[in-house]
A and B are shown apart, each in its own frame.
Chain A
Amino acid sequence: MANVSESMAGTERVGHDAHAHPEFLQHHFDTPTQQFNASKLGMWVFIATEILMFGGLFCAYAIERGLEPQIFDDAHHFLNKIMGASNTVVLLFSSLTAALAVRSAQVGKRNLTSFYLVVTLLCACAFLVIKYFEYSHKFHLGLLPGHCFGHPGLSAAIQDGQEVGTCLHVNAEAAPVTPEWVKAVDESGHVRLLPPRANMFFGLYFVMTGLHGLHVLIGMSILTWVLVKNIRGKFSPAYFTPVDLGALYWHLVDLVWIYLFPLLYLVGKPE
């Protein structure tokens, strides 16, 4: 046990019976390694459940796309590839800084860990800002999920004084109970007509990216908590588990987006 104490240099210890424990070691674990491995195992099982939760949506995507390839092809032209790719790079960069934050914690560079965590959080904000611009453009055009499709949510398809889209109210008396046709300018500048049933594509788009966005927000909360603990000096090369697990959650957010981006933005016939 003497060696354990030595290798825990720099962390507080509390006396307990005849043995000296590092403060972070919980009573039901024999060694820090056992505790670390158990935490990691638990995190990976949690990540598996997260993948399966998103899996329901990926399954719905596969089925709907298989049934209506033409609608997916037409509707995906309303997603901006450049904005999607920018968000991908922003998220990949935030994953890099999260990994570097863990590395800094492993070698005991506390300030560097804080720096990388702050950069990660800033990237998360940048991601959400880009997402906000994407969402609001679709709200303008009336590209909304479910029965809202074809009923523009904001200033009736007028942007910068120009009409960018029209919603053709065939069943005007039924509105807004049923989805409507949408005629609008897509991201390559072509006028496109989408049938009411294209609401399915945008339903999947908003639910998949929305659930992902919720994960971004949760990830930001977790990383903020880790940052506060790090500033308070709770971590050391002997104990950095929360930094590691917080970063694992953040990489999961990145992992999901790596699949969402091509499936929503890139797949379909090019113009």
Chain B
Amino acid sequence: MAAEHSHAHDYDDGAVHVHIAPSRFYWAIFAGLVLLTVLTVKVSYYDFGSANIIIALVIASMKASLVAAFFMHLRYDKLFNTLILLAAFLFLSLFILLTWDDLGVRAHDHGYAQKLSPETGLGAPGGEPATSATADDVGAAPEGAPKGAGHEEKKE
């Protein structure tokens, strides 16, 4: 870069100047990404309970950061572009959290619930409990609402 444009650095000539990383550098980032992929697959064979999803998402975020910072050049780009990307993730997390919060104040009653396996006659994964869930089971249902009628009601 310096050699090509050395004549033009005494004032802003308006030409595009970008940071050019060596090829080796990109290969190193790729190696890091593959290592993290191997790690996340290996880790998935161990049972850490509910921590599994946290570990998987942390590793995924590390990979995403590497891609965004170096392959997508954010590290050497205008800071504002990084802010746009972070804003997208911020609003995405607001979206998911508020939707989740809204769900907590509604009663659950899956109309298509099936409980028993046709083969064994025993309870099957994903089946509803024997008495289907009502507003009481949810815990956060609006007070005074009739049982099982919480669908349209919202907490005031």
Contact = CB atoms under 8 A, between A and B. Distances in A.
B2 interface: no
Contacts of B88: 47-49, 51-52, 55
A168 B16 contact: no
Nearest to B104: A66
A66 B14 CA distance: 53
Interface stretch (A130-138, A155-163, A223-231, A262-270): A262-270
B41 interface: yes
A248 B60 contact: no
Nearest to A93: B30
A49 B124 CA distance: 40
Contacts of A106: 18, 20
B5 to A, nearest CB: 6
Contacts, number: 199
Contacts of A68: 126
B15 A63 contact: no
A63 B101 CA distance: 10
B80 A41 contact: yes
A258 interface: yes
Given A33-B14, A44-B84, A107 B20 contact: yes
A4 B17 CA distance: 12
A196 B114 contact: yes
Contacts of B68: 251, 255
Contacts of A195: 114, 117, 124-127
Contacts of B140: none
A121 to B, nearest CB: 17
Please classify how large the interface on chain A is, using the bins under 10, 10 to 19, 20 to 34, 35 or more: 35 or more
Contacts of B21: 103
A124 to B, nearest CB: 16
Interface of A: 3-4, 6-8, 30-34, 36-37, 40-41, 44-45, 47-49, 51-52, 55-56, 58-59, 62-63, 66-68, 70-71, 73-74, 81, 85, 88-89, 92-93, 95-96, 98-100, 102-103, 106-107, 168, 170, 181, 183, 193-198, 237-239, 244, 247-248, 251, 254-255, 258-259, 261-263, 265-270
B4 A237 contact: yes
B15 A4 contact: yes
A99 B26 contact: yes
A96 B27 contact: yes
B25 to A, nearest CB: 9
B134 interface: no
